[in-house]
Chains A and B, each alone.
Chain A
């Protein structure tokens, strides 16, 4: 290609950039991030520096290209195309990929992402949903090879049976892990209600931070967060934590623990069933007993009433008996008394003792002075009567009473 002797600035830069395209773009350049800045929420710029020796490379990219959180001081490996910007006349690297290098950088990136999601409220306890107590269908997302798969199913079977496990085999590490896990969530998310599991389980065995990258991936964590079905996440061992753990509705420590969290224990449920039937029976029995007691009480108080009445009747009769018993002698006594009195005043008794009753006509004679010589009188003796004539009157005498 022949080049004219004189050209414009833009034409010259095009020429330079043509040559720069010959620099291989797949080579990874490793260095430390400094002077990081984001403009208009769109453009990311930073300097990539060697820790020693002072080499500086100006780097540019869009925020959408950036898949990891960057901070000054992080060690990263970038790839991209070298060029001189026509606008600023500066040499720069158009960054295509940024990858964090070393535990330290990963840790910092992890913490930065965790803070961001926490600030967004993705870890809030209030949005965590309860999982049904007796799930009928469980969606299981894990690797077929992992011990996690076997552990989960073994513990599940020990606790509870008859559930349907919809198993989606995925890689839990390596380059395919993130897209596969996302596809699994997508699958469950779009199932109709009749096919949707009651709970999802995302699980794997333990590992270092690098190993857990799929569980610390922002898009996976967001998929867990926005899942229509409640999610149990169980990663490795107690000491491990991942972003998925924090966004999960239920956090389990291990795959076995995940099984314990989703399925109730057969023994506990059996015990509970027994306790409930026992309780129901107890209450019913107590109720029946109470009623029986009421009936018995009513019967016994009725019979008490009857016997009390009978007692009263007998005592009444007794009283009547004794009253009448006394009444008759009383009466006969009174009659006797009356008779005695009568007997005392009976004039016949006086006559029987030798006295006589003398009458003139109808008049009873008590005083001799009332008599006239020659008058006829009648004399009544104790037995029989006779008439007499007054011959003489011998004096009047005086009445003397004792």
Chain B
């Protein structure tokens, strides 16, 4: 389910954001590191939200030899 040569891997971005949130919950003491992660988190959230704005599903009909 990894890279499919698509615009962005939503699942990956979301997981990374979850990991950042977890880091803040559990550690988050290092201020420099925290600021770095905070910026990365905002970037990921923004990218995920842009992806959410896509409305249509792209239906590709696979004909081949299926219909009698």
A residues adjacent to B (C-beta < 8 A): 132-134, 136-138, 153, 156-157, 160-171, 176, 180, 183-184, 187, 194, 198, 266, 269-270, 273-274, 276-277, 279-281, 283-284, 287-288, 291
Is the CB–CB distance between A194 and B4 below 8 Å? yes
Chain A residues positioned under 8 Å from B48 (CB to CB): 269, 273
Contact A166 B60 (CB under 8 A): yes
What are the nearest 9 A-B pairs in CB distance? A162-B54, A161-B54, A283-B24, A134-B11, A161-B55, A176-B68, A276-B21, A165-B59, A277-B45
Q: Which of A165, A170, A187, A280 contacts B21 (CB 8 A)?
A: A280
Contact of A280 among B31, B41, B59, B64 (CB under 8 A): B41
How many residue pairs bridge A and B at CB < 8 Å? 120
A164 contacts B62, CB within 8 Å? Answer: no
**Interchain CB contact (< 8 A) of B4 among A136, A157, A169:** A136
* New contact pairs (8) apart from A163-B58, A270-B52, A277-B17, CB-CB < 8 Å: A136-B6, A136-B11, A161-B56, A180-B67, A183-B66, A280-B21, A280-B24, A280-B38
With A153-B59, A194-B5 as known contacts, state yes or no: A288 contacts B21, CB within 8 Å: no
Is the pair A287, B52 in contact by a Cβ cutoff of 8 Å?
Answer: no
Residue from B11, B14, B31 within 8 A of A288 (CB atoms): B31
User: Is B67's CB under 8 angstroms from A169's CB?
Assistant: yes
Cα A138 to Cα B60 with chains together (Å): 10
> Which one of B4, B9, B14 lies within 8 Å of A137 (CB-CB)?
B4
- For A166, the chain B residues whose CB sits under 8 A away are 60, 62
Interface residues of B in 32-68 (CB under 8 A from A): 34-35, 37-38, 41-42, 45, 48-49, 51-68
Interface contact B61-A279, CB-CB below 8 Å: no
Report 19 cross-chain contacts, Cβ distance below 8 Å, ordered by A residue. A134-B14, A136-B10, A153-B59, A161-B55, A161-B56, A163-B58, A165-B58, A167-B62, A169-B63, A169-B67, A184-B66, A269-B14, A269-B52, A276-B21, A277-B17, A277-B45, A283-B28, A284-B34, A288-B31
